[in-house]
Amino acid sequence: DIQMTQSPSSLSASVGDRVTITCRASQDIRNYLVWFQQKPGKAPKSLIYAASTLQSGIPSKFSGSRSGTDFTLTINSLQPEDFATYYCQQYRDYPLTFGGGTKVEIK
């Protein structure tokens, strides 16, 4: 199985900050990666697919990038509604696998 290692597991940030979350794949997954946002008690919401393509309706403050097997989600100008848990998921091969999640909390 492809392992997805996400870091950090949590971070504290202030409104207006820029935050970066990293996901590392245990093998080459090309750009077959999705980023999700999940708020407490809610279903996940797809933000980015193909490592860097914004899902329809997602603001451009969210961006994704890839360097080899390392993937990054960047959130610019953090707003109160952005405080949530973020997950990566690879879809290069079955079984599909998620990272462990990064909880973004208010400092």
Partner 1 sequence: EVQLVESGGGLVQPGGSLRLSCAASGFTFSDHYMDWVRQAPGKGLEWVGRSRNKANSYTTEYAVSVKGRFTVSRDDSEDSLYLQMNSLKTEDTAVYFCARATYSGGHWALDHWGQGALVAVSS
Measured from the CB of residue 19, what is the shortest distance to partner 1 in angstroms?
19
Report yes or no: 53 and 60 within 8 Å, Cβ to Cβ: no
Q: Which stretch binds partner 1 (CB under 8 A): 21-29, 62-70, 72-80, 87-95?
A: 87-95
For partner 1, the binding residue among 2, 19, 25, 32 (CB under 8 A) is 32
Report yes or no: 71 and 24 within 8 Å, Cβ to Cβ: yes
User: Counting contacts by CB under 8 A, is residue 80 touching partner 1?
Assistant: no
For residue 36, the surrounding DSSP H or E stretch is: strand 33-38
Cα 33 to the chain's mean position, in Å?
9
Token pair of 49 as six digits? 């697919």
For partner 1, the binding residue among 45, 61, 76, 83 (CB under 8 A) is 45
User: Counting contacts by CB under 8 A, is residue 2 touching partner 1?
Assistant: no
Residues 69, 93: Cα–Cα separation, whole Å: 14
Q: Which stretch binds partner 1 (CB under 8 A): 18-26, 59-67, 70-78, 85-93?
A: 85-93
Return phi, psi of residue 35, to 5°: -115, 135
User: Residues in the site for partner 1, rule: CB under 8 A?
Assistant: 1, 31-32, 34, 36, 38, 43-46, 49-50, 53, 55, 87, 89, 91, 94-101
